[in-house]
Amino acid sequence: MDNAMETEKQRAADWFMALRDTIVAAFEGLEKSHDTGPLSDAEPGRFEVTPTRRASPDGSDAGGGLMSVMRGGRVFEKVGVNVSTVFGSLGERAQEAMAARKGLPGMREDPRFWASGISLVAHMQNPHVPAVHMNTRMFWTPHGWWFGGGSDLNPAIEYDEDTDHFHLQQKAHLDPHGLIHYPKLKAWADDYFYIPHRHRARGVGGIFMDDHCTGDWEEDFSLTQDIGRAFLPAFVPLVEKRRVQEWSAADKDAQLVHRGLYAEYNLVYDRGTKFGLETGHDANAVLMSLPPMAKWV
């Protein structure tokens, strides 16, 4: 592996960690500034931070990261912000998946990999505040490197103006890289975050890309960074607007039912969940995305 790629991998890992720190600080700030609503007597929420490790078959160092989870806050019922850098050799099932998706028949001969990224899922106290997901990542094998990620909004109670704001922020951050990106990544998100057995999307969409490699590492990394940078300005104003809105028992029930959709998608279809579990990463960190409570009708 050449020194340039080693430097690039470290830059990506450092940036994902810096984005994690920015988001954690912003979310704790939302908790501290919120002193009204159903949980007004609660202490401001803080993240509980736990180191994670990837389990390797031979017990050697295979990397890890940080799992940061806040539960029972004034604003966030449960939110996790995970960051990790893991490496080693892909197992047989992961090799097959990589070879099929990326057209890499050489995976069996050299199954080494390296992956780094940030993953976030927030489930909110107030049913009028939408749940949200975001991740960005870099993946490397001896056969090539790729970036991926995106964010999507998952409201139990939909507001057209909230959906418009979320999408406009995504577009504003993608347009400097070329006007083709937003419509392409929006369509990709619409397809990826679809639940076939329910015949519906899990939310109101966003942007998503996977296996992204143009051959220009700097431009691909810059695009990935702007996907991450779009998240807070797209989501935080919605939290600030909706967190003080009154809600009823029927609103909460609608939220719990909608969370059932989220759980179904992540357990049945989500590629990141499958990859994390199959490659031996900490199961609690992989399943951090699941809501604290959900219901099915």
Cβ atoms 247, 171 nearer than 8 A: no
Respond yes or no: is residue 258 known to be catalytic. Answer: no
Q: Report the distance separating Cα 43 and Cα 197, nearest Å.
A: 40
* Residues 217, 166: Cα–Cα separation, whole Å: 27
Pairing of strands 76-89, 48-53: unpaired
Query: E strand or H helix at 174, and its extent?
Result: helix 160-174
Helix, strand or coil, per DSSP, at residue 158:
coil
The answer to whether the beta carbons of residues 125 and 256 sit under 8 Å apart is: no
From the list 34, 128, 133, 143, the catalytic residue is 133
- Are the C-beta atoms of residues 227 and 182 closer than 8 Å to each other? no
Is residue 146 a contact partner of residue 212, using CB atoms and an 8 Å limit? yes
Give the DSSP H/E element, type plus range, for residue 205.
strand 205-212
Say how many CA atoms lie within 13 Å of 133 toward its Cβ: 24
CA distances to 38, 110, 120, 177, 212 from 107, rounded to whole Å, are 53, 5, 29, 32, 18
Give kind and range of the element (H or E) at residue 64: strand 63-71
- Any idea which residues carry the catalytic annotation? 133
